[in-house]
Structure 1
């Protein structure tokens, strides 16, 4: 039992790293299955379009899903057409941009993984670049090779060209090597950007590391308890309404938050430097009499600013 508890604690303490590793494994597996089942290079003049679509189209879909599945997206944009002050409190676009940048960085994780793994595999890139008829590119790829290489480069991935088979293999290996180099450069660049952005945010943070740890734990616990109480109160309200209907009597009083209260706790709230509000719900409970958002606050970190993968 102690071993299990230690293992669970280890996983919880490193849930972000485990989550990213799990995502990487899923991306690798799905990319391999995708390549085996769906990808067949046409070996025609459509190679460039076909290869680029398979390389970037899934990444775009994953990016859209990343925005769609992030709860902060809907907290930021829900109702903003009817009430623009939701997205621009105090008409300050910097706050909206900061939140949207956080959402975007999270949404880009899986698409970058997909593109990196696809480039390391090399099949999509080799197919696409064999169909690129740029003179300098063709001259570079077909350097010290027969004339058939320049005329039928697009047939090389299928080994159906008139050039010697050894030259076709060399061309494909060269294109795959270029793809893998680009893949590693993308991984290195993404890692450096992630490290620098994390260091920048930490350096400009107005709260201590321990307080940030407490805040993340609080947000997680509040979300869990919120889901539990939502289920409980929704069940009670449904039971009360059904009993009133079937028993044909006036329903009992049932206290519920009004629409304005729901609106207040659905906003993306910053932690205030003077008052320790760790969530919009915390701010609402502690300061119910002043929830109109007219008071200017000093921004420290945004609630839900960091989200675990698992």
Structure 2
């Protein structure tokens, strides 16, 4: 039993890593499914459009889903049409740009995974680039090939060219190699960018590493208990109202947070050097108010749901 609890605790502590791993596996599986079941290169003048649509359209859908599933998106934009100052506080334009950048970066994880996996597989790229009607590019592909190569490059993915099988395979290998080189280059550049951003964020952090570990644990516990309290109080309110309705009696008083309280705890987190508030909820119950010297810190994006829900 102790061993089982240890395993459960480990999985819970590593749930972000597990989540991204699951996302990667789903991306790989989705790309393979698209390649085998849905994708059929037309081997015509429509190759370029068809290939690019399969390469980019799923990535766009994943990007939109990333925005939808990010709690930080809704914290930032909910109510901003009625109160534009909620979107960006006066004098905090740079911090607003940082927050938007964090939201975009989080939403880009799944699309970048899709594009990388698709490029490494090469199927979509082969179809798209075989239909690119660029004379220089086709001349490059058809070096030392038969004269009919340039005119029938768009048929290469289907293997229906007038070239011999060896030449057809050579052109296909060149396209696949280009696709994989671009894919690995994108993976490497993304990894380097993430490393640099993480190092810069840690370098600019105004709290120690151990305090940030404690902070993350607190935020996780607060979220868990918030969901439990929300469920409990929603149940109590529903029971009270239904009992009052069916028994035709006056409802018992049930204290609930005010609209202003909900607004306060729904705001994006901002760091104040003078106080140790670990969340907007913590700040509210301590009676603290947002001050003009507060800064939105990139290192503390985890506080208000920087990750996907």
TM band (smaller chain): over 0.9
Instruction: Return 298-307 or 164-173, whichever deviates more.
Output: 298-307
2:279·2:304 contact (CA, 8 Å) conserved in 1? no
- Secondary structure of 2:271's aligned partner: strand
TM-score (norm: length of structure 2)? 0.95
Aligned positions of 1:1-310 closer than 5 A? 1-287=1-287, 291=289, 293=290, 295-300=292-297, 301-302=300-301, 304=303, 307=306
2:240·2:252 contact (CA, 8 Å) conserved in 1? yes
Residues 187-220 of structure 1: CA deviation (Å, up to 9, x unaligned): 1011000111000100011111111111111111
Alignment partners' CA distance in 2, 1:302 and 1:152: 52
1:269·1:303 contact (CA, 8 Å) conserved in 2? no
TM-score (norm: length of structure 1)? 0.94
Distance of aligned partners of 1:22 and 1:309 in 2 relative to their CA distance in 1, 3 Å threshold? farther
Distance of aligned partners of 1:173 and 1:302 in 2 relative to their CA distance in 1, 3 Å threshold? closer
In the TM superposition, what is the alpha-carbon distance from 1:306 to its structure 2 partner?
A: 6.6
Distance of aligned partners of 1:87 and 1:254 in 2 relative to their CA distance in 1, 3 Å threshold? same
Structure 1 residue runs of 5 or longer lacking an equivalent are: none
1:47·1:127 contact (CA, 8 Å) conserved in 2? yes
Structure 2 residue runs of 5 or longer lacking an equivalent are: none
Distance of aligned partners of 1:282 and 1:89 in 2 relative to their CA distance in 1, 3 Å threshold? same
Alignment partners' CA distance in 2, 1:43 and 1:63: 29
In the TM superposition, what is the alpha-carbon distance from 1:277 to its structure 2 partner?
A: 0.7
2:269·2:296 contact (CA, 8 Å) conserved in 1? no
Distance of aligned partners of 1:303 and 1:23 in 2 relative to their CA distance in 1, 3 Å threshold? closer
In the TM superposition, what is the alpha-carbon distance from 1:39 to its structure 2 partner?
A: 0.1
2:41·2:157 contact (CA, 8 Å) conserved in 1? yes
1:63·1:108 contact (CA, 8 Å) conserved in 2? yes
In the TM superposition, what is the alpha-carbon distance from 1:82 to its structure 2 partner?
A: 0.8
Alignment partners' CA distance in 2, 1:299 and 1:126: 45
Alignment partners' CA distance in 2, 1:305 and 1:235: 25
Distance of aligned partners of 1:142 and 1:305 in 2 relative to their CA distance in 1, 3 Å threshold? farther
2:116·2:186 contact (CA, 8 Å) conserved in 1? yes
Distance of aligned partners of 1:266 and 1:72 in 2 relative to their CA distance in 1, 3 Å threshold? same
In the TM superposition, what is the alpha-carbon distance from 1:307 to its structure 2 partner?
A: 4.7
In the TM superposition, what is the alpha-carbon distance from 1:23 to its structure 2 partner?
A: 1.4
Runs of 4+ in structure 1 displaced over 4 angstroms? Answer: 305-310
Alignment partners' CA distance in 2, 1:277 and 1:260: 19
- Secondary structure of 1:147's aligned partner: coil
State the aligned residue count. Answer: 307
In the TM superposition, what is the alpha-carbon distance from 1:302 to its structure 2 partner?
A: 4.3
